[in-house]
Structure 1
């Protein structure tokens, strides 16, 4: 797990660090640990004047905007708590950040994420967030398919299942990009400024 380079036109994309999801029991890091590392990354990207994208998932209470198709998962509760889909306070509220709202696992499908990145000339994205094997992996796959260089901050993500997390980190992510720790990314970003 080594990151060799960061492009000069880079963006940070943070997946689903929102009220309801951050509170879920995740492994190998807690939601609060993931948020803390995401805060460090956002601080570094903002200092670098690189785009920060905060992605959140939402859905209508009646499920009318859910992805079609059958699956074996239980349906969502019909009355989610007020504010369940709001970005956590530690990350929200910066005027230059881009907020993307999705209704499926990945942040590209049905959103303007690709347009927002291409408008800014972004060639590489750094991904972090929850959960590793669902929102982060789906977004990483789509970013790779869209031609972005993909970097994954492996200590700034977690999953509901340790084996799912491990599979993404060890088997899937190395096929899509480079992986490393948040501190390594922050350090490389600081060096590209000098």
Structure 2
């Protein structure tokens, strides 16, 4: 049996728990190099605003670095980790990384939670909610959001701080997948909801 909830019943004002963390997925040189420059500029600007706001609120920021994809057979193969450029995992130069931030290398997984201690690190900091951003919306971002939900965290994905080269997948993730496990919000909404 499927439960169908009318759209008007799923919307609400964005609420942030007092202990919310920002998880920024894969905003690294090796991935952004494959993305149009104007799209990268907008993505970096939105994530910079969010990271600055989380820093100002004294809340954790997690920078996730992809080290490669799982080794399983896929229809669209990607390079093996040893075939990637040396700076593949280095974050974009304009991101406001602070010394207190968490850096997480994903061990060839889509999700930031799979085979990492991220859930434990967040729980140890009393985190109950995560705001997820980054690239690609229908890959690492969605996988991370789903895993966060499975781990018991409240989830928000930021629509204008995510990007996917596949626009249909981007839209489907934000319009169909995420509302089943959390909420979609804008950068403006998240910044406004953070404690000052």
Tell me whether the two structures share a fold, i.e. TM-score over 0.5.
Answer: yes
In the alignment, which residue of structure 2 is the partner of 1:181? 186
CA distance in 2, matches of 1:92, 1:44: 11
Note if 1:146 corresponds to 2:155.
no
In the alignment, which residue of structure 2 is the partner of 1:56? 65
How many residues are matched? 184
Note if 1:115 corresponds to 2:120.
yes
Larger RCO, structure (CA 8 Å, separation 6 or more): 1
**How big is the shift at 1:4?**
2.7
Q: SS at 1:129's partner residue?
A: strand
Q: SS at 1:76's partner residue?
A: coil
Note if 1:24 corresponds to 2:34.
yes
CA distance in 2, matches of 1:137, 1:104: 12
Kindly indicate whether the alpha-carbon contact (under 8 Å) linking 1:2 and 1:179 is maintained by their aligned counterparts in 2.
Answer: no
**How big is the shift at 1:75?**
3.7
**How big is the shift at 1:92?**
5.8
Note if 1:94 corresponds to 2:103.
no
- Closer, same or farther: CA 175–30 of 1 in aligned 2, 3 Å: same
Q: SS at 1:150's partner residue?
A: strand
**How big is the shift at 1:25?**
2.8
CA distance in 2, matches of 1:81, 1:69: 21
In the alignment, which residue of structure 2 is the partner of 1:82? 86
In the alignment, which residue of structure 1 is the partner of 2:5? none
CA distance in 1, matches of 2:169, 2:13: 22
Kindly indicate whether the alpha-carbon contact (under 8 Å) linking 2:14 and 2:190 is maintained by their aligned counterparts in 1.
Answer: no
TM-score under structure 2 length normalisation: 0.87
Matches within 5 A, 1:30-69: 30-59=39-68, 67-69=70-72
TM-score under structure 1 length normalisation: 0.88
User: RMSD in angstroms over aligned alpha carbons?
Assistant: 1.9
Kindly indicate whether the alpha-carbon contact (under 8 Å) linking 1:126 and 1:151 is maintained by their aligned counterparts in 2.
Answer: yes
Q: SS at 1:30's partner residue?
A: helix
- Closer, same or farther: CA 92–4 of 1 in aligned 2, 3 Å: closer
